[in-house]
């Protein structure tokens, strides 16, 4: 009889081990699905070509030059220029010295109050205009131009921007 008792104990241990492994597998699957659906491990984003400082975070100020247009990106609810503004504006300053005008346009994202966003876009454009003045550009060579579509497209971080382009006098 002790032989059959030993078989029963072995079968119970096997059944308990199998049950424990099954429960562990189910818990791991549920946790994995929850993590995947919450998006807590997003794919890395491709870095954009930067003139000065590339943003360390999605909501950081940065500046880039794309096809001759200087683009200042701003943190949420801020009008502070990114480091490297003077370097990014060097070609604009040179173009103004050659007789062109600097056209400054402000955009905003779609979040929050529209009137406040418009004021913030204007404040950001004025901050860029002040940076141009500090670099020696005469006030009459800077044109503040409200774009037809002030709400930027793309992500909110891309929409919160001021663009500076050169135009003929």
Q: Could you list the beta-strand ranges (E) of the chain.
A: 62-66, 69-73, 101-106, 142-144, 161-167
Over residues 73-109, the pLDDT tens digits come to 998 889 999 999 999 999 999 999 999 999 999 988 8
Distance of CA 38 to the CA centre of its chain: 20
pTM beyond 0.75: no
Task: Quick: pLDDT tens for 15-67.
Answer: 777 766 667 767 666 666 665 555 544 444 434 444 444 444 567 899 999 99
> What is the Cβ-side half-sphere exposure of residue 137, based on CA atoms within 13 angstroms?
30
Helix (H, G, I), strand (E, B) or coil at 61: coil
User: Is domain 62-167 in CATH 3.30.1490.20, yes or no?
Assistant: no
């Amino acid at each position: 009889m002790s032989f059959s008792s030993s078989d029963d104990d072995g079968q119970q241990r096997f059944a308990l081990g199998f049950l424990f492994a099954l429960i562990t597998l189910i818990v791991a699957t549920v946790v994995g699905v929850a993590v995947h659906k919450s998006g807590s491990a997003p794919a890395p984003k491709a870095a954009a070509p930067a003139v000065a400082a590339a943003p360390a975070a999605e909501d950081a100020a940065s500046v880039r030059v794309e096809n001759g247009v200087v683009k200042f990106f701003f943190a949420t609810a801020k009008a502070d220029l990114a480091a490297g503004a003077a370097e990014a504006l060097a070609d604009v300053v040179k173009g103004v010295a050659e007789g062109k005008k600097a056209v400054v346009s402000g955009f905003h994202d779609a979040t929050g109050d529209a009137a406040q966003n418009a004021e913030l876009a204007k404040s950001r454009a004025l901050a860029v205009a002040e940076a141009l003045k500090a670099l020696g550009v005469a006030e009459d060579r800077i044109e503040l131009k409200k774009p037809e579509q002030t709400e930027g497209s793309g992500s909110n971080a891309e929409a919160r921007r001021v663009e500076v382009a050169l135009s003929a006098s």
